[in-house]
Structure 1
Amino acid sequence: MKKFFAFTVLLILLLIGGGFLARTTLGWNDGMREARSEIHATTLNGKLYVAGGIGLFRVLDSCEALDLTSNSWSGCGKLPRALHHVAMAADDRHVYASGGYVALPFEADQEAGLFRYDPATSAWTEISKLPHPIGQHAMTHFDGALYLIGGQDDGTDLNTMWRYDIAADTWSAMQPMPTARHSHAIARAGPLVYVTGGRSTEFGSEMKQVDAYHLTEDRWENLPDMPRGRGGHGAFVSNNRLHIFGGESLSAGKVLADHDILDLETMQWSAGEPLDQPRHGFAVSDKEISGDITIVGGGARPGMETIYSVTGTAQTLAIDTIE
């Protein structure tokens, strides 16, 4: 009996050690204090903020901030509850987090809170209730308001665009998206928000559609489809070019590293520098530094395999700024 017990303990230790070694060798562990996937990020005062997400076999309530100049991580308080697929945005004073799921795989947060983080106090506060529970959505800030884009509510794909006036604490329904979707990526440049890819019941798990929303005009327009459909990816706009990178193909069962670029003048697609490591469900800085953007966390394996392949890595991606 003692030999069996000792063997079992040794086996467990070897599995843990082997798993740690594999994670380290594969580059899954460097950077964050807690590796995580199914996350969004926002930037405030030179720091990239990430809150919640799926950790190793669990849902997280922690928040971390990456100083984009010193490349150092620090804590930033805990969310009021553990959540994954939380959308994030920032104004010039605060960080905001909205919606998400409270359990694995996708149990919606019925409290549907909108939270605000104050860097001065390092505390999160619930400031409003969302119009309804929502997850796998995106959020951006523009001119004193937050905009919540798409997502799912109780498994139903959404084409909604909600506007939250921060000062007035009021919600307004804006012109809906042409295509309902979740697990999409967004990128904002001034008064334009680009919504890319994602998933839906109608179009499947690798959508190619790209739409642009005019924030000041409350209207949508369609742009050329992506060369390759994807969900759980990243997007960024720089120098009148829309960059799409990473994500996953659930039909092929793989995580992607490739990078497509849409020239917003010619409306032609081209290929860019791929990610160093394929990822999905990662977070992207919404500011560039010296022509690079920063990508943090994400899952190294597709679908729900993310629960054991969550990463804490920070990658940089060169954004072409040549006229």
Structure 2
Amino acid sequence: MTLSRRHLIAAAAACAAPALVRAQQPHHGHHSGQFERLNQPGRMDLPEIHAQQAVSDSPAPRAARAGVWRPRAPLPIPRTEMAWAAAYRNRVHLVGGYAEQRVDKPYHHAYDPVTDRWEELPQLPRGANHVGVATLGDHLYAFGGFIEQNRTPHDEAFRFDGARWARIRRLPEACGAMACVALGQRVHLIGGAIGSDWRRSIDWHIVYDPASDRYEKRQPLPTARDHIGIVVVGPSIHVIGGRVDSFHTNSSLHHSYDAQADRWVARTPMPTPRSGHGCVVYRGQVFVMGGEGTNRVFGQNEAWDPVADRWVSHAPMITPRHGMGAVVVGDEIIVAGGGPQMGGGVKSAINESFTLG
């Protein structure tokens, strides 16, 4: 199912209306000095504009068990726009992003929730933001990304073996902000954005085969978009939300992909249209948290039950933000870094975890 731009904008605006209730400001006292501006060095506290833009009220019914968020050890360096994170060898891995007044940093940090510690690991051979990452077998993969602020992508790709990065075959086209996930013995790369002066979303869907070091085309995403959430549920890939060219046209779309039939199917839309959000599978359900919109930074934590085909809302994030890394390790959802306001002007070292208890 492909929606026209006019219908997409109208649907997003209608769905977003209930989410304009302001988020209550947390009183956990863990925000001090965990933020930094992109254009100015020096740590700072939570920016005042966060109170105006943060929203956490979901139109979805509340879950019977709300769950609990708690602060964890902050990132060593405030970061945002890593795009996504990946679980690799039981740790959270954050690759690339904005940091230290640059948008093309090659940083690579790993977080162990058991010890509550961060470690700096070998850096990417090429720094970028909005890098696509996925884990397959005993390797962590990184694809593309932007070398300017959310634009001007590159086509390089890399594989990490736990000790060092190695180059793999370049992408067929330079791209950033794509969604990546492993299914079977291949990595699927879906959606994303291209361009510099004229940035636009694309509907591409390719798969990378590590055995042959080659890419193959698959059925394109029904609606071109980037900054989307992606997970695997059983034999299917699910792609949720995202933006069409800009966060002014955020989407609530939810599609699943059947790899055997090479076919996309429209599923029940996400309650809160957004982009730059976290998306994970936790206890058999798809959880979506955070994200960005026009003058909005979301704290909504909504979950889709594949069996009941129903969305519900859980306890919202302590610190609403977007462009962060969200990963499940053990029995926790770890959400690290991200921007506490619209755009990439402020980075955070915030690290929080969620559990249903």
TM-score where L is the length of structure 1: 0.84
Is the counterpart of residue 268 in structure 1 residue 310 in structure 2? yes
- 8 Å CA contact 1:297, 1:310 repeated in 2: yes
**Separation in 2, partners of 1:159, 1:53:** 23
**Separation in 1, partners of 2:249, 2:99:** 23
Is the counterpart of residue 177 in structure 1 residue 221 in structure 2? yes
**Separation in 2, partners of 1:68, 1:22:** 24
Q: Are the structure 2 counterparts of residues 242 and 294 from structure 1 closer, same or farther at C-alpha, using a change threshold of 3 Å?
A: same
Higher gyration radius (CA): 1
Is the counterpart of residue 66 in structure 1 residue 103 in structure 2? no
Letter matched to residue 264 of structure 1 = P
**Separation in 2, partners of 1:79, 1:156:** 26
In the other structure, the counterpart of 2:281 is: 237
Is the counterpart of residue 117 in structure 1 residue 160 in structure 2? yes
Q: Are the structure 2 counterparts of residues 157 and 104 from structure 1 closer, same or farther at C-alpha, using a change threshold of 3 Å?
A: closer
- The equivalent position to 2:45 in structure 1, one of 1, 10, 22, is 22
Is the counterpart of residue 37 in structure 1 residue 74 in structure 2? no
4+ runs of 1 displaced by more than 3 Å?
Answer: 23-26, 201-204
Matched residue SS, 1:97: strand
Matched residue SS, 1:129: coil
In the other structure, the counterpart of 1:293 is: 333
In the other structure, the counterpart of 2:179 is: 138
In the other structure, the counterpart of 1:283 is: 325
Cα shift at 1:172: 0.6
Q: How many residues align?
A: 293
In the other structure, the counterpart of 1:156 is: 200
**Separation in 2, partners of 1:262, 1:91:** 25
**Separation in 2, partners of 1:162, 1:193:** 13
CA-to-aligned-CA distance 1:13-33 (integer Å, 9 cap, x gap) = xxx89x63525999x996222
CA-to-aligned-CA distance 1:280-304 (integer Å, 9 cap, x gap) = 000111x3423x210111111112x
Matched residue SS, 2:212: coil
- 8 Å CA contact 1:205, 1:231 repeated in 2: no
Indicate the RMSD between aligned Cα atoms, in angstroms.
2.6
Matched residue SS, 1:20: strand
**Separation in 2, partners of 1:175, 1:204:** 27
In the other structure, the counterpart of 1:48 is: 92
**Separation in 2, partners of 1:86, 1:21:** 26
**Separation in 1, partners of 2:302, 2:266:** 17
Describe how 1:71-220 pairs up with structure 2 within 5 A: 71-109=116-154, 112-119=155-162, 122-154=163-195, 155-201=199-245, 204-220=248-264
TM-score where L is the length of structure 2: 0.76
Cα shift at 1:319: 4.6
Extract unaligned runs of 5+ from structure 2.
Answer: 1-39, 51-70
CA-to-aligned-CA distance 1:143-162 (integer Å, 9 cap, x gap) = 22111010112223211110
Is the counterpart of residue 317 in structure 1 residue 351 in structure 2? no
- The equivalent position to 2:272 in structure 1, one of 228, 232, 249, is 228
- 8 Å CA contact 2:175, 2:194 repeated in 1: yes
**Separation in 2, partners of 1:189, 1:294:** 19
- 8 Å CA contact 1:297, 1:313 repeated in 2: yes
Matched residue SS, 1:310: strand
In the other structure, the counterpart of 1:4 is: none
In the other structure, the counterpart of 1:3 is: none
In the other structure, the counterpart of 1:11 is: none
State percent identity of aligned pairs.
Answer: 27
Higher relative contact order (CA 8 A, sep 6+): 2
Cα shift at 1:204: 4.9
CA-to-aligned-CA distance 1:232-275 (integer Å, 9 cap, x gap) = 1111223442222110122xx02110112222222222111111
Letter matched to residue 250 of structure 2 = E
- 8 Å CA contact 2:91, 2:329 repeated in 1: no
